[in-house]
Amino acid sequence: MPLQKLLLSDTLPEHTKSPKKVFKKSGKIETKFYNREFMRLQHEVVKLQKWVIESGQRLLMIFEGMDTAGKSSTIKAFNAYLNPRHTRSVALPKPSEVEQGQWYFQRHLRQVPDRGEIVFFDRSWYNRAGIEPIFGFCTPQQHEEFYGQVNSVEKMLVDDGILFYKFYLNIDKTTQGDRIRDREQDPLKSWKISPLDYKSHERYDDYVTLRETMFRQSGMPYAPWIALDVVDKKRARLNAIRYLLSTIEYAGRDMGAVMGVDGGIVTLHPNP
């Protein structure tokens, strides 16, 4: 797999004519523009899956980030029109008693994609880099051992031919608080709230510290962290999809549709 690089052409796609039709006064993206670009990119995502299936490729994407950052909804944006027979979204529960006695990566690696398959991880082995040490779900020694192994594990995945992407969704503390209150008030989102969300909000600064450590210790040229500013969720989704499509040479790729990754939204750690 070639090194992932951030291909910046402009802060807007090349085919965009007028920024006035793109952004609201608030600075967030216009809904009409988002819907149009989203469908334009979905045609490319479907092409990508067709190429993955026909060529026997394996594509693995993991999504990490602050609570309420929109990991699940970003995954939904990627697989909105994909063939579910060749796509899986994995959100593992807390480890069972048996799994707690296994090698830490074992239950995750059972979920890596087969030939012709795309797999999305809604959280991943990087729980041990963030939430676990914050809430005492792992020991300091286990946290240290994780960093002694994770880069080698990911290098083996990449060397075996898996197309591997690590997305991290960033939001500020104020936005996180607003989204928690929104979930409290919306019956359709209330199921997303847990006591841990409130505790995570209180420990926001600790998450930031651990996030920076994670970027520094596990952002490798062969598996960089793709950090997304998701204060504007729609804008972030478009740029996440563009980044993926612009870094894979799949059959029939329309570069006019996929170029235009916004450097104000996407940051690589490291940037080769």
pLDDT at 10: 41
Pick the CATH number of 19-93+106-269 from 2.60.120.10, 1.20.59.20, 3.40.50.300, 3.40.50.10210: 3.40.50.300
Q: Where are the alpha helices (DSSP H) in the chain?
A: 31-55, 71-78, 97-100, 106-109, 131-135, 140-159, 173-185, 195-202, 204-218, 233-246, 255-258
pLDDT at 5: 58
pLDDT at 222: 95
- Rounded to an integer, what distance in angstroms lies between the CA atom of residue 61 and that of residue 23? 29
pLDDT at 196: 82
Tens of pLDDT, residue by residue over 112-124, are 999 999 999 999 9
Tens of pLDDT, residue by residue over 200-255, are 999 999 999 999 999 999 999 999 999 999 999 999 999 999 999 999 999 999 99
Give the single-character DSSP code of 137: S
pLDDT at 35: 95
Low-confidence ranges of the chain (pLDDT < 70): 1-20, 271-272
pLDDT at 195: 84
Dig out the tokens for 85 from the structure: 């027979």
SS3 content of the chain, % helix, strand, coil (to 5): 50, 15, 35
Which residue, among 192, 109, 197, 92, has the nearest Cα to 154 in the 3D structure?
Answer: 109
Which residue, among 14, 13, 33, 6, has the nearest Cα to 22 in the 3D structure?
Answer: 33
